[in-house]
Amino acid sequence: MKTFAVCAVAAATLGLSTLQASAYERWFNLVNDSNDPIVSVRITNVHDEYFHGPNLLGNQPVGPGDNVRLEPVKHQGYCRFDVEILYRNGEEQNIWNVNLCEATRLVMYGNGTRPVVA
């Protein structure tokens, strides 16, 4: 009987930890605090060396002073991502190793100014 109880507790604990790992929210608010529209946002997990995923903005740029809520298309259980931001003027900014399970805002300033991850 004790063996059954121990197995039941272990199974419940394993199921709860699996549920918690998959329950992470990876959305974030992208805030454009620059003078140029952001035209592209690509996200890849930190183990991928190229930004080959879709533009999360589609055809809707984020204008100066605007913000938008985004989420990685394929997160595959990852929390840490690299983010590539492209402005209409051609400027590109990369933000490396962002924990999207914790961060909920990326504030972009453009002109080579370091973004704020909060």
Query: Residue ranges per domain, the chain?
Result: 25-117
Q: What are phi and psi of 10, to 5 degrees?
A: -65, -45
Among 88, 85, 81, 91, smallest CA distance to 112 is for 91
Max Cα-Cα span within the chain: 70
CA–CA dist 32, 15 (Å, integer): 40
pLDDT at 6: 46
Question: Band of the pLDDT at 81, cuts 50, 70, 90?
Answer: very high
pLDDT at 75: 73
CATH number of 25-117, picked from 3.50.50.60, 1.10.3720.10, 2.60.40.2890, 1.10.569.10: 2.60.40.2890
User: Does the pLDDT value for residue 14 go beyond 70?
Assistant: no
pTM across the whole model? 0.78
User: Does the pLDDT value for residue 87 go beyond 50?
Assistant: yes
Q: What is the mean pLDDT of the chain?
A: 84
